[in-house]
Structure 1
Amino acid sequence: MKNRINIILILAIVFGAMAAWGTYQYLEHIKKTYKASGKFVTVAVAREKIPARTGITEQLVEFKEMPSNYVNADAVTEKNDVINHLSKGDIYPGEQILKNKIIAPDDPSGGVAVMIEPGRRAATIEVDPVAGVAGILKPGDRIDAVVVLDVPGKTKTTVASTFIQNIRVLAVTGTAGTGKDTGQPISQLITMSLNPLEAQQLALASARGNLRLLLRMPGDQNITPISSSQINNLVR
């Protein structure tokens, strides 16, 4: 009796495995048929919940092949169209990522936050037309920053130091010029992308010294070691 039960169990396992294998082969056949006919599409889906206004990284996304008739017409199919973008609203695990639910890094509608690279910060300073390169700075420009300040010591020394270089301008608020009523220079707010140390240095420089921004030509991203200058460096 016991042997008979064992035989039945073995047969059940064998037939179950055969059925599973047959189903797998059938599904693979359908998949290959869809692929051959171009009816399978690779789609970006959320690997886990992506909260609203979250920067989308490779860890949050996976690409899956789906039958084309199950793919939303607005679904993202290319890696470059989703990585480093910003989610407009919540995106749930397994959900197809749609183009109208994300914001591109260069899309102004996403605000400054979407333009900040990983590991960097946005910082804003107020500059007059002289410090701000006559008001010609535009978002996307690259700049250096020079600070002129007094260095404490036995003998007060005034130095000029180029303390940050090749910084990207994220936003410019206001129009530089002269007020019609007061005749005084109108300042601008310049927001730039900095690493945390540069942000600290900029905060200190703007609080304790006089800043000058230097505009770079497009494509020039070279970092050049520059020694600080003192008054006696100007005398030949």
Structure 2
Amino acid sequence: MIIAAAWISAGLLSWLFYAKAVAPQQEKQVAVVVATHDMPLGTLLRPTDLKTVNYPERDIPKGVVFQAKDAVNRVVLFPMSSNEPLLISKLSGTTTVEGVSSTIEPGFRAVSVQITDVSGVAGLIQTNSRVDVLFTRPGTMAEASTSTILQNVKVLSTGRLAQTGQAADPRTPRSPVVTLVLTPDDAQKLELAKNEGRISLSLRNPLDSSQSANGGPLTTEVLDPLAYTRGKKNRASGSGEPDDARILRELAAKAKRDEDAKKKEAEKPRIVVDVYRGDKHVQELFR
């Protein structure tokens, strides 16, 4: 009996020690998102910056990110260490000022362009769209021209919307402005074009990264192929004026002649003659 009791006691003690040893391993584990490496302030999170690690449920901090998709394209507002759990409070939303400015890659600048429904492709341009920038120089038929000055440009935001599919606040006035991401040289080119003429955007297929050969600006000659020939003949005749300027001058002169003729017609004296035919009285005018 004594030996049996000893074996039972030893078995119970062994089971208690085993239960204590395996209890922590059986605690519920939850997958959370952590940083794969050290990240400084302002880092724009990419999928390669994130991984999931199992944490004991009781050790999970409040506000932790559970899915990587909720952190991608957000910006780190505080320095982070490798394997540190991501907290919502340490990340910026993509629609905040910090988030939008931090999405601009080093070496690039953001420049805004005012557009209309026509120049902005009827509102089809959205955040992350790809566009070409067209510049139209105003002037006479001989001076007006249109050229593509920038190609395959990324749209950072439309108005104050910096996220695709984001709903606009109905209380916010509609702002027909598109912000583009450009190199410093292209930003200068765009600013110059804005002050010299009219800017419009053409929407590209996001998968089309081709660059069209720039054959120079197009002039009104593509609309009226004979304009250059008429202008050349006009210059050969010695007038030295562009063809459209000569036409406008002639039309203005003709309008003035017609107006003068009407004035002279109105100034001619008129003679009024009373004519009586029985009981009828008629006045006739003679010039």
TM-score, normalized by length of structure 1?
Answer: 0.55
Task: Report the Cα distance in structure 2 between the residues aligned to 1:84 and 1:133, rounded to whole angstroms.
Answer: 27
Deviation at 1:225, TM superposition (A): 1.2
RMSD: 4.3
Distance 1:159 1:60, change over 3 A: same
Task: Report the Cα distance in structure 2 between the residues aligned to 1:220 and 1:60, rounded to whole angstroms.
Answer: 25
Per the alignment, residue 221 of structure 2 pairs with 232
Task: Report the Cα distance in structure 1 between the residues aligned to 2:206 and 2:63, rounded to whole angstroms.
Answer: 34
CA contact (8 A) 2:110 2:179 kept: yes
Per the alignment, residue 173 of structure 1 pairs with 159
Task: Report the Cα distance in structure 2 between the residues aligned to 1:40 and 1:163, rounded to whole angstroms.
Answer: 53
Distance 1:59 1:225, change over 3 A: closer
Deviation at 1:124, TM superposition (A): 0.4
Is 1:101 aligned to residue 90 of structure 2? yes
Structure 1 residue identity aligned to 2:187: A
Deviation at 1:71, TM superposition (A): 3.5
CA contact (8 A) 2:45 2:75 kept: yes
Is 1:159 aligned to residue 158 of structure 2? no
CA contact (8 A) 1:43 1:66 kept: no
Deviation at 1:41, TM superposition (A): 5.2
Listed one character per residue, the Cα deviations across residues 198-217 of structure 1 (whole Å, up to 9, x for unaligned) are 3232122212232122233x
Deviation at 1:58, TM superposition (A): 8.8
Listed one character per residue, the Cα deviations across residues 27-70 of structure 1 (whole Å, up to 9, x for unaligned) are xx99xx95x9884857524855743x553479987887755543
Distance 1:235 1:170, change over 3 A: same
Is 1:190 aligned to residue 178 of structure 2? yes
Per the alignment, residue 210 of structure 2 pairs with 223
Identity of aligned residues (%): 24
Per the alignment, residue 167 of structure 2 pairs with none
Task: Report the Cα distance in structure 1 between the residues aligned to 2:74 and 2:210, rounded to whole angstroms.
Answer: 28
Structure 2 residue identity aligned to 1:172: T
Structure 2 residue identity aligned to 1:160: T
Q: Secondary structure at the match of 2:34?
A: strand
CA contact (8 A) 1:55 1:84 kept: yes
Q: Secondary structure at the match of 2:119?
A: coil
CA contact (8 A) 2:112 2:179 kept: yes
Structure 2 residue identity aligned to 1:169: V
Q: Secondary structure at the match of 1:205?
A: helix
Is 1:143 aligned to residue 121 of structure 2? no
Select the residue among 132, 140, 146 that pairs with 2:120: 132
Per the alignment, residue 6 of structure 1 pairs with none
Distance 1:200 1:49, change over 3 A: same
Listed one character per residue, the Cα deviations across residues 118-162 of structure 1 (whole Å, up to 9, x for unaligned) are 543221022344433355544343321111238xxxxx8543211
Equivalent runs, 1:71-86 vs 2, <5 Å: 71-72=60-61, 74-76=63-65, 82=71, 84-86=73-75
Task: Report the Cα distance in structure 2 between the residues aligned to 1:44 and 1:62, rounded to whole angstroms.
Answer: 6
TM-score, normalized by length of structure 2?
Answer: 0.47
Per the alignment, residue 44 of structure 1 pairs with 34
* Higher fraction of strand: 1
Select the residue among 22, 25, 44 that pairs with 1:55: 44
Distance 1:100 1:135, change over 3 A: same
Task: Report the Cα distance in structure 1 between the residues aligned to 2:100 and 2:33, rounded to whole angstroms.
Answer: 28
Distance 1:158 1:187, change over 3 A: farther
| Structure 1, gaps ≥5 residues long | 1-28, 151-155, 175-185
Q: Secondary structure at the match of 1:108?
A: coil
Q: Secondary structure at the match of 2:191?
A: helix
Task: Report the Cα distance in structure 2 between the residues aligned to 1:114 and 1:74, rounded to whole angstroms.
Answer: 22
